[in-house]
Amino acid sequence: MDSTAISRRQLLALGAGAVAASAGARFVAWPQDAVSAGATAPPGTPFPLVALDGKAPLGQVYDQPPNYETPTSRLIGRRNPPYTDTEDYYVRYREADVYRVDPDRFRLRVGGEAATEQIDLSMADLRDLPTRRVGTVGACAGLGRGLVRPLVPGMPWTKGDVSCGEWTGVPLEEVLRLAGARPDASVVAFRGGRTIAAAKRDYWRHWDLESMNRQGPLLAYELNGEPLPVWNGFPLRVVVPGTYAPGWVKQVVEIDIRRTPHPRDWRGNAPGTPLLKPMSLIVEPTDGSTVQAGATVALRGVAWDHGTGLRRVDVSVDDGRSWIPARMERSVGRYAWRVFEAKVPAGDAGTLRVLSRAESRDGTRQPLDIPEEVMADGVRKNTAARTFAAVLEVRG
């Protein structure tokens, strides 16, 4: 039995049966005969584990474009915990044909209406500039989308389009300064290296400069002390600590310094800085694990916010009627996730649903469900800030 095996019951508990059924032929169906003997804990993704070149096996949510989620069992890395190991860091692309850049010929163009110069920087130029190293959670706005009912359109991620990495690169302000950014520059837009063929347009993302600068943005060329994997943006990508990752443009080749919104921003929203909402995920035991009735279950998870700092994390085994405080490990950095631990009673045989809830120092709490207005206002919105239960099987 390979490590992807998971029972149909576990799959249904995760809601992935519906995902696979509704998602159409391009999604790889879960093998009918892949029945877990219960000997090993499931990896923590309902999708088949497939390795991209240079990456570890990840949950293949979609193949082309590559959308691969980190199994929950691997969110906390082994080499430098709590950071996710580089090869396990999730992969999300809109381009089917990922831009492979010759680093010696790569140039980053920087200029725009609110800059005095237009400059082209090589990787050697960028490496000569001052560096910044920062640990941060990177989270897709679609985190958990495939677990939301009713199902909403978009990649049906479960709990793995999120990771925590330590990034090294050039502070963005250094590059803006070299291009002579004017005092009235208010928007910065980034372009990814290749036109998205299916959409026939470039991946431009714009940010509000002032609020982005408060997060300490960088142009990163290393993840966890190693050159970026192609799949995570080699040779250069945008990283804005404490924010959702859609605007962390990978293979960034152009920066446009502006006074007005970029006309071709991918989403067409007003330029902003999408701060991470308080969030937590239980990573151990993984979904579908079996525990003994009457036993005490040791839980481990990760929790984060946009840099305010967490006040507490609590867990619940009664759908939020009562809460048990979790113990938090020390913070390794304001934007990194924190590991928490708690013990809960397994209770009687059946299904055990465990909730976790993070609260930041400013009093903001992770909601138990998606706020009404988000669901009402359209399905493509951010589904990422809510509670996703850990679903365990209690054996009598």
Stretch that binds ligand MTE, among 89-97, 149-157, 283-291, 328-336 (CB under 6 A): 89-97
Regarding 171 and contact with ligand MTE (CB under 6 A), the answer is: no
Angle (CA) 275 287 367, round 5°: 35
The CA distance from 392 to 322, in Å, is 19
> Scanning the structure block, which residue is given the tokens 């979609």?
62
Asked if residues 132 and 170 have their Cβ atoms less than 8 Å apart, the reply is: yes
- In contact, 359 and 311? CB cutoff 8 Å: yes
**Residue 238 C-beta: closest distance to ligand MTE, Å:** 8
Nearest Cα to Cα of residue 304 among 333, 284, 324: 333
Q: Which residues contact 209 (CB under 8 A, 6 or more apart)?
A: 185, 186, 187, 188
250 lies in the binding site for ligand MTE (CB under 6 A)? yes
For position 246 contacting Mo ion by CB under 5 A, the verdict is: yes
For residue 8, the 8-state DSSP code is H
| From 17-25, 86-94, 308-316, 387-395, span contacting ligand MTE (CB under 6 A) | 86-94
CB of 244 to ligand MTE, least distance (A): 7
Give the Cα separation of 194 and 99 in Å (integer).
6
Stretch that binds Mo ion, among 54-62, 134-142, 326-334, 379-387 (CB under 5 A): 134-142
Q: Which one of the spans 45-53, 92-100, 150-158, 294-302 is the region binding ligand MTE (CB under 6 A)?
A: 92-100
- Residue 176 binds which one of Mo ion, ligand MTE, none, with CB within 5 to 8 A depending on kind? none
Identified binder of ligand MTE from the candidate list 232, 286, 383, 387, rule CB under 6 A: 232
Beta partners for residue 243, in sequence order: 275
Q: Which stretch of DSSP H or E encloses residue 162? A: strand 162-171
- 91 is in the binding site of which of Mo ion, ligand MTE, none (Cβ under 5 to 8 A by kind)? ligand MTE
Q: Is 95 in the site for ligand MTE (CB under 6 A)?
A: yes
93 binds, among ligand MTE, Mo ion, none (CB under 5 to 8 A by kind): ligand MTE
> Is there binding between residue 239 and ligand MTE (CB under 6 A)?
no
Chosen from Mo ion, ligand MTE, none, partner binding at 185 (C-beta under 5 to 8 Å by type): none
248 near ligand MTE, rule: CB under 6 A: yes
For residues 40-56, one letter each, b for 16 or more C-beta atoms within 10 angstroms of the residue's C-beta and e for the rest, the string is ebbbbbbbbbeebeebb
Q: In the numeric block, which tokens belong to residue 126?
A: 């960028």
Which amino acid is residue 284, in one-letter code? E
Query: Minimum distance between the CB of residue 131 and Mo ion, rounded to whole angstroms?
Result: 26
| Residue 365 in contact with ligand MTE, rule: CB under 6 A | no
For residues 299 and 315, the answer to whether their CB atoms sit within 8 Å is yes
Q: Which one among 251, 316, 366, 383 touches ligand MTE, defined by CB under 6 A?
A: 251
Binding site for Mo ion (CB under 5 A): 92, 140, 246
